[in-house]
Amino acid sequence: MMLQLMLSFLATLPISGIFDAGWNSFFRNQSQIDLQVSNMKKLNLDTLILQYSIDKTQRFYDSKLPFAAGTANNSYFERIIPSAASQNMSIYLGVYAENDGWWTTPDDAYLFRQRDNSIKVIDELLAKFPQAAIKGFYIPHEIARYYWQVPADMQRLVNNFVKPVSDYAHSKNKTMMISPFFNQDLETSAQDYQFFRDMLVNSSVDIIAVQDGVGSNAARRNFSVEYLTAIHRAAVETKKVFWTNIELFEGSAPADITRIQDQCVNASNISLKLISYDYSTLTLDHYTQSMQVLYADLIIFNAKYTCIHQNNAFFNNSCYIYCPVNYFKFNNSCVRKCPGESQFIYDSGCVSNCPDNYQIDGINCVLKSGDKTVLIIGAVAGVVFAIAVGSTVAVVCISKKEQKKKNRIKLSDSCSNVVTY
């Protein structure tokens, strides 16, 4: 159990992609758009999903398609796509969507209209924008079992809409993504597994990026692992790429980094990639203080886990290929060396004798056993990554002797200098 907790923590993925619904972005001029993309790159984001291209009331590029006539022309793609492409971001473009139907079980006429209009949108977008900048397309309809639980309806969804649009994207050498959701109050995880397996097997979609749903329903936090794991199983069995779509909001406000970190830990072991929803939560040109805080926290969070996944050391909020002088690399952090063989690390410094309420453990002075226990990942020297896991659990430290044995980990009762961020 302890090893599983350690591996889960160490395997945490950074958030590397983000949705932009366009509603809080389209009005910006080119210099503001460039700043927006720069802000995304500071977060180490490499993937941008532009959620909508055309719906029934607005279009996000200057479309000449007949069904776009009469919609508000935002011409947003003309500014955001070149800017994101110049930063080497992978771009996915939403196809046609009518937002007054996806939360029902539409008839065939609706599905055929989505199919036909989406194919025309794909053609126009590929003719209008550099194909190299467009990685693939995204179906904005948020598929959920509740609306398609009748097998015949699910097959209509696949055969009359999802599959032909995905096949058409493939004919243009582009991938297709969907981002469905689950509702623990309306179905079991076993039912979701079966539904998504049956839907995905003949759907032709390439990527399923499941919404974790935590932002829109706080209770879903307790079910996300169970349901994400079930849908991941369906994706694996149907040979689809599985991503998780991390919700960055809490109702109408930005979430805090602790909750988002929990979401990422829950999703990392089963996801090839973590993306997020959406950029309006971080809209920095008319931000609130909570937006500022979340953006700053996400910079550190993503820098840390991007660094770790490059097998480098994250130390003092910086990424090191080689640790500074007098430090050695252990568990993707930098651990301070003491100058003398008989000195021990205490309070980020070196001492000859540990204080009375501490005991010697290898090169560390560690608190003697007490009531509060923490799981420490790695050695400590002022910077340690830790997660509280309960009232009784072993704690990981490292001794100089163990470090010489190919960085093998030694179990102990407790560690000092614990920080949890």
Summarize pLDDT for 303-356 with one digit per residue, the tens: 999 999 899 999 999 999 999 988 888 789 998 778 766 778 787 678 888 898
Q: What is the pLDDT of residue 84?
A: 97
What mean pLDDT is predicted for residues 6-26?
81
pLDDT at 152 over 50: yes
2-310 architecture in CATH?
Answer: Alpha-Beta Barrel (3.20)
Length of the chain: 421
Confidence of residue 286 (pLDDT cuts 50, 70, 90): low
DSSP state of 54: B
Q: Which amino acid is at 67?
A: F
Summarize pLDDT for 373-421 with one digit per residue, the tens: 333 333 333 333 333 333 333 333 333 333 333 333 333 333 333 333 2
Summarize pLDDT for 63-106 with one digit per residue, the tens: 999 999 999 999 999 999 999 999 999 999 999 999 776 778 99
Q: What is the pLDDT of residue 287?
A: 67
* Residue ranges covered by each domain of the chain: 2-310, 316-412
Q: How many alpha carbons fall within 13 Å on the CB side of residue 16?
A: 18
Q: Which amino acid is at 414?
A: S
Candidates 21, 14, 46, 16; CA nearest to 279 is 21
- Helices marked H in 238-378: 257-268, 289-309
Q: What is the pLDDT of residue 380?
A: 35
Annotate 117-142 with b (16+ C-beta within 10 A) or e (fewer). bbbbbbebbbeebeeebbbbbbbbbe
Neighbours of 279 (CB within 10 A): 25
